[in-house]
Every structure is written in structure tokens, then in C-alpha cells.
């Protein structure tokens, strides 16, 4: 519980820092919370997965910027990191507010597609014909309609946003047709108590014996596995019925390397199982080794690939 609270405090601190300083790089966050950039990156990745942070398409070197919703306009201060043509596209779009894609040079069209933080694609429908255009990201919908009316149909008295996917329609007459959007209905079915099966509880002495046996089973499996792999246990942190945590040392090619080992007796392993393991390792400032008799689900496999440099997984029988 204390470990989880510590991680949450770190994440809350990161959110507070970005709120105060604006869009930030992982290395800047690492310095602010006094940890390594890779570990700071893991915290940032979690905050992004939780939709508490956004990631920029613009990169400073090879790193993206992390920012809060509402801080998009502050990304402009990083335009010097854009390629020259991309910077030109940004400045032109900011000046013109809306650009007709067909009217641009091939180079400019490529550049507009590259500056995703600043150029928003929209569709303009004029007399039934759909055309691609680019909108400056900070432009409101009402301002967009007015500029479209002025640039593309100056004789048309009004323009209307007719579709939720940013398609702006300029009809041949002032009568506008609105499209209805369908509602999505969700149904929550109550739990059918009659389908729940109850198991007969074992006698109190039998139950205690079973728990005692299960408490030692996982740790024994882990210890046996580590001995076979010639992995040294430096100290046990947690030894429970279905969980085992320890600090271990492995003889690597370039010397001995310490790991935070976490083991779980669980048939199906989720992304969250690996996230918790990574959090524990980050707090100890060590890479992580995760052991289990279970199988990783798809999200867990993707997470393992993403953090393969810091997180290793081994299946034990």
C-alpha cells in the first residue's frame, strides 16, 4: 500500500510540475523528481495511458513533449525544433488561419501533414463537392465557419458545421440541412444470483493446512527456478500465498546486475500486473524481473515490448 501511495505521489508531482512549467521533456521531469529519465518516462507513459497527459507530435531531439489538456498553445514555443519547411508551413497556416490543400505546393502539402500539433485537417463541402483544407489548431469552430464563408464563398450569407467530424458545408442557398446523429444505447444486465455456485467450505483445520501449503508453494517454485538459473537472492521483500518479491543479482556478460524480482501465481496476466512490477522497480531504481506460471494477455505483451530494456518476463512451471 505504501509503495502504491509513493508512486501516486510521484505521478501527482509530475502533473503539478507540468501544470506550472507547461509542456516538458522526460529528462526535465526526471531532474525535477530526482530520478532517472527512463523511470520518469515510465511514469509519464502511465499518465498518458490514464489520459491525464497528452504527447506532442513535435519532438525536441528524439523526445516528445508531455503536456496537459489546455496547454496546446504553449507548444508554439517549440517550433524552432521543426524542420525548415514545416516551420514555414506553420507560419503560413497561422497567418492564413485556413489553407486549401489543393492550392498548396507538393512540398507544403507534405509539411502540413507533418505538423499534426498545429494543422487540423477539415473537410469543406461547397455545392456538394468535398475539399480538404487545413485549420490552424487554435481556431474556434465559429471563427472557422466565418473564415470559410469569406474565403471560399463570399457571396453565401452563412456557413454551418453540419457534421461532428469537422466537415463544414457551404450550401448553394441559405437553407441548411442538418444531419442527425444516432444515439448509442448501453444496457447493464443485473447479476443473476441463481447462476452463482457456492462451494462447500472445508473444515477449519483443513483450510488452515491448505493456506499454509499454498503460502510456501510459490516461494519454493521461485527459489528452485532461481537456483537452476544461478540467480542469487539478496533479500526477500514479500512472501505471500500468491506473490513473492525479492532483490536478486544476476551474473551478466559485463558483470553482476541487480534486479527487483516479482513473482505471481496467476493464470492470466494483465498489463496492470506488469505496471505494478515496473513501479516497484522504478522506486528501487532497478530493472525488473517478473516470474509467473501464467500467460500474458495482448496488452501485457505490448507493454512488455515497450519496456523490454527495463522489464524481463520468465514463465515458470
The string of pLDDT tens digits covering residues 131-153 is 899 999 999 988 998 888 888 76
Range 200-215 average pLDDT? 50
The answer to whether 97 and 141 have CB atoms below 8 angstroms apart is: no
Q: What pLDDT is attached to residue 154?
A: 52
Are both 82-170 and 213-315 of the same fold? no
Q: What SS3 class is residue 32? A: helix
CA–CA separation, 241 and 218 (whole Å): 7
Task: Report the pLDDT value the prediction gives residue 207, as an integer from 0 to 100.
Answer: 53
Residue 61 pLDDT: 86
Q: Which three cell numbers stand for residue 3?
A: 509503495
**Which residues does 51 contact at the CB level (< 8 Å), separation at least 6?**
none
The architecture CATH gives domain 213-315: 3-Layer(aba) Sandwich (3.40)
Name the DSSP letter for residue 314: E
DSSP 309: T
What pLDDT is recorded for position 72? Answer: 95
CA distance 151 to 128: 17
Q: Is the pLDDT of residue 179 over 60?
A: no
At residue 4 the predicted structure's pLDDT band, cuts being 50, 70 and 90, is: low
Q: How many whole angstroms separate alpha carbon 235 and alpha carbon 229? A: 17
What is the pLDDT averaged over residues 20-36? 91
Give the integer Cα–Cα distance in Å for 259 and 246. 9
- What pLDDT, on a 0 to 100 scale, did the predictor assign at position 214? 46
Could you tell me the residue ranges of all domains in the chain?
Answer: 12-72, 82-170, 213-315
**Of the listed ranges 54-58, 106-110, 204-208, 210-214, the one predicted with least confidence:** 210-214
Greater pLDDT, 5 or 281: 281
Helices and strands counted in the chain (H then E): 9, 14
Q: Which of 179-188, 230-239, 265-274 has the lowest mean pLDDT?
A: 179-188
Note the pLDDT of residue 166. 53
For range 231-243, the mean pLDDT: 87
**Per-residue pLDDT, 187:** 27
pLDDT tens digits along 43-58:
888 898 889 999 999 9
Cα angle 111, 112, 115 (rounded to 5 degrees) comes to 85
pTM greater than 0.75 (yes/no): no
pLDDT band at 216 (very low <50, low <70, confident <90, very high): low
Between these two residues, 80 and 164, which has the higher pLDDT value?
80
In tens, the pLDDT along 292-308 reads: 989 999 988 988 888 88
pLDDT at 157 over 50: no
Q: How many CB atoms lie within 10 A of CB 218?
A: 22
pLDDT tens digits for range 69-119? 999 999 999 999 999 999 999 999 999 999 999 999 999 999 999 999 999
What is the helix (H) or strand (E) element at residue 217, kind and residue range? helix 204-228
Q: What share of the chain is helix, strand, coil (3-state, %, to 5)?
A: 45, 25, 30
Higher pLDDT, 275 or 94: 94
Point out which residues pair with 261 in neighbouring strands: 246, 289
Cα separation, 16 vs 266, whole angstroms:
36
- Burial code of 278-297, b = ≥16 C-beta within 10 A, e = fewer? bbbbbeeebbbbbbbebebe
CATH code for the domain defined by 12-72 = 1.10.10.10
Cα distances (angstroms) measured from residue 82 to each of 13, 66, 69, 75: 29, 17, 22, 11
3-state secondary structure of 190: coil
- For residue 135, the model assigns a pLDDT of 94
What integer best gives the mean pLDDT of the chain? Answer: 79
Residue 62 has pLDDT above 70, yes or no: yes
Query: What confidence tier does 173 reach under pLDDT thresholds 50, 70, 90?
Result: very low
Length of the chain: 317
Q: Tell me how far CA of residue 208 lies from CA of 203, 215, 244, 265, in angstroms.
A: 9, 11, 20, 19
Which has more pLDDT, 199 or 38? 38
Architecture of domain 82-170: Orthogonal Bundle (1.10)
Amino acid at each position: 500500500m505504501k509503495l502504491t501511495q509513493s508512486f501516486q505521489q510521484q505521478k501527482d508531482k509530475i502533473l503539478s510540475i507540468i501544470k506550472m512549467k507547461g509542456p516538458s521533456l522526460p529528462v526535465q521531469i526526471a531532474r525535477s523528481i530526482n530520478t532517472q529519465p527512463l523511470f520518469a518516462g515510465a511514469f509519464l507513459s502511465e499518465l498518458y495511458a490514464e489520459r491525464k497527459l497528452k504527447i506532442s507530435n513535435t519532438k525536441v531531439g528524439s523526445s516528445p513533449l508531455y503536456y496537459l489538456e489546455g496547454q496546446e498553445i504553449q507548444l508554439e514555443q517549440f517550433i524552432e525544433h521543426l524542420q525548415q519547411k514545416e516551420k514555414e508551413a506553420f507560419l503560413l497556416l497561422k497567418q492564413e488561419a485556413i489553407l486549401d490543400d489543393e492550392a498548396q505546393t507538393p512540398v507544403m502539402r507534405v509539411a502540413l501533414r507533418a505538423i499534426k500539433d498545429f494543422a487540423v485537417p477539415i473537410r469543406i463541402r461547397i455545392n456538394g463537392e468535398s475539399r480538404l483544407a487545413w485549420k490552424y489548431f487554435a481556431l474556434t469552430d465559429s471563427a472557422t465557419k466565418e473564415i470559410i464563408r469569406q474565403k471560399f464563398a463570399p457571396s453565401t450569407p452563412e456557413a454551418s458545421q453540419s457534421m461532428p467530424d469537422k466537415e463544414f458545408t457551404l450550401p448553394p442557398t441559405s437553407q441548411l440541412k442538418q444531419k442527425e446523429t444516432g444515439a448509442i444505447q448501453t444496457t447493464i444486465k443485473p447479476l443473476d444470483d441463481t447462476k452463482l455456485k457456492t462451494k462447500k467450505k472445508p473444515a477449519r483445520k483443513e483450510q488452515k493446512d491448505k493456506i499454509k501449503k499454498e503460502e510456501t508453494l510459490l516461494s519454493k517454485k521461485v527459489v528452485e527456478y532461481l537456483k537452476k538459473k544461478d540467480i542469487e537472492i539478496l533479500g526477500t521483500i514479500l512472501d505471500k500465498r500468491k506473490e513473492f518479491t525479492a532483490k536478486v543479482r544476476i551474473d551478466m556478460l559485463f558483470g553482476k546486475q541487480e534486479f527487483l524480482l516479482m513473482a505471481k501465481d496467476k493464470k492470466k496476466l494483465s498489463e496492470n500486473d506488469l505496471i505494478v512490477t515496473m513501479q516497484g522497480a522504478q522506486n528501487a531504481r532497478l530493472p525488473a524481473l517478473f516470474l509467473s506460471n501464467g500467460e500474458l494477455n495482448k496488452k501485457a505483451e505490448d507493454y512488455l515490448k515497450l519496456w523490454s530494456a527495463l522489464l524481463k518476463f520468465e514463465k515458470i512451471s
